[in-house]
Every structure is written in structure tokens, then in C-alpha cells.
């Protein structure tokens, strides 16, 4: 199988046995079912790790960077290899830091991985004062940012800190003005309500 320009050999029967996606692709009457080679638009590094898991049931996640692991998580999710999605999620629980939790939370929300999302939000809640000041908060998607800022723990953080984080996020993200207006408006109303007088 050649993801990108690299050809990576694999057995159709094994792929189909471990993944509904590959079963449909390779045996479901699609054009790929008659081809000796198929092209997948994926990272060859991630695909090799996926194949390693498909063939052996193990992987070397501890030697990978978080962004590589998230690419692999997306691939395992896309191909419906739920045991690997679970194994990757379990690994990610153990490597959560203030620097990476926002990125992991965003990916978990995007893939609708509820348990991983919950673990990320629990970590964010425990470390809210550090997370709100960390640069990685600026990398959150709009939807995840709104969800994080709406959490109970963030209601106990100084409003000026939240406003500064929102301002930094708005400066670093090219999003529609109505989203920025929503974020700024939400924080201004809170600050106005807290202003004495």
C-alpha cells in the first residue's frame, strides 16, 4: 500500500479482519478490491505504526511526539480500529501536561472521544490557572475554547486573566468576526457585572 510515494506491503485479509473500513475497501466491490496497490492519503510513519498494531497488537507510543500520536489516533479512528483508539487514549491520559492538554482536548472533541475529552477537561480543571496563561490555549478551536471557558473551574479565575486569554486567542486565530464578538462580548458582560458602582 503506497501512502504518499512510499510503498508499504500489507496483507488484505489481515487488514480486512482488523478493520471494517479496510474490509469494505478491499472486499466490498469498490475499485480497490481489484487492484494490487491502493493509494492512501496518510502519513507513512503513522500508517506503519497502524500496521504494526494491526499485525502485533502493540505499538511504540512512548517514543513518539504528541502530534505524531494524535495523527495516529485520527488514523485509528478513521479506520475503525477501536482497540487501538482506546490504547492511544490510555497512553495520552498518562502524558497530559499544561503544554499539550489543549491540543489533545481539541482532537478528542473533534473525534468525539468522550472519555479522552473528559480526562482532558479534568486535567484542565485541576490546572486551570496554568492553562489559562499558557500559549497553547491560543491553539484551541473556537468550540473547544468556549467549552473550556464555560467550565465551572474557570468561573473562579480572575476575569482579567480570562479576558487576556480571550484577547490573545482572538489575535492568534483567523476566525469570523461574530465569533470574536461573541468571546469579547461574553467577557465584557462578565467584567461589567463585576465592576463596583
Residue-wise pLDDT for 2-27, tens only, equals 445 788 888 888 988 999 888 888 88
Residue-wise pLDDT for 96-134, tens only, equals 999 999 999 999 999 999 999 999 999 999 999 999 999
b/e 28-52 (16+ beta carbons within 10 angstroms → b): eeeebeeeeebebebbbebbebbbe
Instruction: Compute CA distances 181 → 108, 170, 185, 189, 197, whole Å.
Output: 26, 9, 6, 12, 25
Residue-by-residue DSSP string for 117-129: HHHHHHHHHHTHH
Q: Rounded to whole angstroms, how far apart are CA atoms 128 and 122?
A: 10
Rounded (5°) CA angle 162-167-171? 150
- State mean pLDDT over 143-148: 90
Residue-wise pLDDT for 156-196, tens only, equals 888 888 888 888 988 888 877 777 777 776 655 454 444 44
In the block, cell 474490509 appears at 23
The pLDDT mean for the chain works out to: 86
Amino acid at each position: 500500500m503506497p501512502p504518499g510515494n512510499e510503498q508499504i506491503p500489507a496483507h488484505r485479509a489481515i487488514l480486512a479482519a482488523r478493520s471494517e473500513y479496510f474490509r469494505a475497501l478491499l472486499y466490498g466491490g469498490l475499485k480497490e478490491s481489484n487492484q494490487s496497490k491502493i493509494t492512501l492519503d496518510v502519513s507513512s510513519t503513522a500508517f506503519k505504526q497502524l500496521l504494526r498494531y494491526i499485525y502485533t497488537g502493540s505499538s511504540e507510543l512512548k517514543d513518539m511526539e504528541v502530534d505524531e500520536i494524535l495523527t495516529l489516533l485520527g488514523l485509528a479512528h478513521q479506520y475503525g480500529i477501536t482497540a487501538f483508539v482506546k490504547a492511544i487514549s490510555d497512553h495520552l491520559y498518562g502524558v497530559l501536561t499544561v503544554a499539550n492538554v489543549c491540543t489533545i482536548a481539541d482532537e478528542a472533541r473533534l473525534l468525539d472521544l468522550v472519555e479522552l475529552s473528559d480526562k482532558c477537561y479534568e486535567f484542565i480543571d485541576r490546572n486551570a490557572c496554568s492553562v489559562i496563561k499558557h500559549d497553547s490555549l491560543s491553539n484551541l478551536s473556537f468550540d473547544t475554547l468556549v467549552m473550556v471557558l464555560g467550565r465551572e473551574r474557570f468561573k473562579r479565575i480572575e476575569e482579567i486573566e480570562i479576558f487576556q486569554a480571550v484577547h490573545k486567542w482572538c489575535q492568534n486565530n483567523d476566525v469570523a468576526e461574530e465569533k470574536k464578538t461573541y468571546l469579547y462580548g461574553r467577557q465584557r458582560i462578565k467584567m461589567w457585572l463585576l465592576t463596583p458602582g
